[in-house]
Amino acid sequence: MAAALIPAHYKGVKTGASTYAESPTRHDAILLFEEAKKRLLNINKWHELCGEGSAVFQLTDSNGNEINRRPETGDLIRIKLPAPSNDSGDGYDWVRIEEFENTKDLLKDQDIFGFRVRPVQNPLDNSADTAHFYKSTATSTFVIVRTSSTVTALERGRNEVANNGTLSLFGKIRNLIISAGAWLGISKLQWGKLVKGIIKGPPQD
């Protein structure tokens, strides 16, 4: 399922969350799949799908300027965690959208849509340090799959290693604590709320 978009796991920790909905008919599933795509692509509203206490996500261009449109390859997502601020990211963690998948398999009666993100440096300064609690080896992949009358939303984290590079002592401790919390289940809770919201959330404009 979306094997082309989800990288092989070779180091660190892998995590994930998923949810699905059965539709009465194939046509209803197609409609749900299209609505789920809208919710997935409306990154600036992800925190509303996740509910109170979740991270806040803001789509930006490659220079860190806030934007309100469909995401594209090369765009960034600025993340404000409910945790100590990331000094290296001007208070935020940053990821870049690096690849999309949009495929249809008529023989399997299957549609797949999604994208993958990877931690990157803060676009607002000249530092080459990754501004995220994970190293740049890590990825998160968000995918929606329709197979016949079933629609599934999933997140897959791969190669998650705590970022303790050329950071301050506070930054290293902060990233280690957040990474440990993510591995212990906080990440699954966050992404579990998101994938549920993508499938069952309100209609999008």
pTM assigned to the model: 0.93
Give CA–CA dist 104/32, Å, rounded. Answer: 16
| Mean pLDDT (the chain, rounded) | 90
| pLDDT tens per residue across span 135-175 | 999 999 999 999 999 999 999 999 999 888 756 666 677 77
Q: pLDDT value at position 167?
A: 60
The tokens 């401790």 sit on which residue? 173
Distances (CA, A) of 105 to 25, 44, 102, 143, 145: 18, 30, 10, 15, 11
Where do runs of H (alpha helix) occur along 42-186? 46-50, 169-181
Phi, psi for 45 (deg, rounded to 5): -110, 10
pLDDT cut 90: percent of the chain above it: 69
Of residues 20 and 132, more confidence is placed in 20
Q: Is 20 helix (H, G, I), strand (E, B) or coil?
A: strand
Q: How many CB atoms lie within 10 A of CB 134?
A: 25
Q: Domain 13-200 has what CATH class?
A: alpha beta
pLDDT(177) > 60: yes
CB-neighbour burial class of residue 66 (10 A; exposed 0-12, middle 13-18, buried 19+): exposed
Query: Do residues 160 and 134 touch, judged by C-beta distance below 8 A?
Result: yes
Q: Per DSSP, what are the bridge partners of residue 141?
A: 116, 156
| pLDDT tens per residue across span 7-50 | 999 999 999 999 999 999 999 999 999 999 999 999 999 999 99
In the structure encoding, which two tokens stand for residue 165, read together?
A: 């590079």
pLDDT(196) > 90: yes
Angle at 135 between CA 53 and CA 89, to 5 degrees: 55
Mean pLDDT of the region 46-62: 94
Q: Is 67 helix (H, G, I), strand (E, B) or coil?
A: coil
In the structure encoding, which two tokens stand for residue 204, read together?
A: 């999008």
Containing H/E element for 10? none
The tokens 């979306």 sit on which residue? 2
